[in-house]
Amino acid sequence: MIDIHSHILPGVDDGAQTVEDAISMAKLAVEEGITKIIATPHHQNGKYINKKQNIIERVSEFNMILQQENISLEVLPGQETRIYGELIEDFVKGDILPLNNTKYLFIELPSGHVPRYTEKLLYDVQLNGLTPVIVHPERNSEIIENPEILFNLVKKGSLTQITACSITGHFGKKIQRFSTQLIESHQTHFISSDAHNISSRSFRIKESISVLEKEFGSQIVYFFQENAELLLKGQTVYKPEPNQIKRKKFLGIF
């Protein structure tokens, strides 16, 4: 199994703080059935700066540690970049790191809103040969209240990734319900852990798969697993035509 979003690299952001923390995460990942994991440290989120070359070097160092510890997990380089105006310029400069050096680029939106320039910037990302993958949109309060915002971005070429903990309900019923709606409407293309530690922000991949199988059947699990493999290889992922989320009426009004 492949996990495309994690904060397993030690000492670079709010994920694993020490090498020991990272090793504990790696052991738990193996228990969860994960064989390959993309390390995606935060970049330009107001607190952390993790540029491409530094991430690649840190990943190489950590893979050596895993080999020494006989942990059968391969860590691959990636980056969780908070959306910002100079993103394209920094990509050209070589600071921005797509997932496993493919064409797929994680884009994080602020948790409370969607910046006005988002659609334009994601369009520019695509003009530069990249495919934007919006991370955890199910946890963005403006998107929850106005789901047509995300529908419009997906319709225009963006992909999305939702979090295992959102599916299992660990972020609350509202986010869990919205995650289900995004899956039903074909507006999400990847499930991953966004793991930060082994306690409060753990992997929960196995648990999310159980929920998905119960709710949608095994075919949807295969869909997400296959897309993760295709992404890792830089190949075109499955992207069904998205549908708008239907808002339920209350007393005859929306």
What is d(CA 137, CA 120) in angstroms, rounded to the nearest whole number?
18
Q: Tokens 């991370």, residue?
A: 135
Residue type, 96: I
Domains of the chain with CATH codes? 2-233 (3.20.20.140)
**Sign of dihedral through CA atoms 90, 127, 98, 32?**
positive
Which stretches does DSSP call E strand in 33-180?
A: 36-39, 42-43, 74-77, 80-82, 104-108, 131-135, 159-163
What is d(CA 62, CA 16) in angstroms, rounded to the nearest whole number?
12
Whether the model pTM is above 0.75: yes
Residue 112: phi and psi, rounded to 5, are -105, -10
Predicted confidence pLDDT, tens digits, the chain (254 residues): 999 999 999 999 999 999 999 999 999 999 999 999 999 999 999 899 999 999 999 999 999 999 999 999 999 999 999 999 999 999 999 999 999 999 999 999 999 999 999 999 999 999 999 999 999 999 999 999 999 999 999 999 999 999 999 999 999 999 999 999 999 999 999 999 999 999 999 999 999 999 999 999 999 999 999 999 999 999 999 999 999 997 654 444 44
What is d(CA 1, CA 221) in angstroms, rounded to the nearest whole number?
11
Instruction: Determine the distance from the C-alpha atom of residue 238 to the mean position of all C-alpha atoms in its chain, rounded to a whole number.
Output: 16
pLDDT at position 249 = 47
C-beta of residue 133 within 8 angstroms of C-beta of residue 161: yes
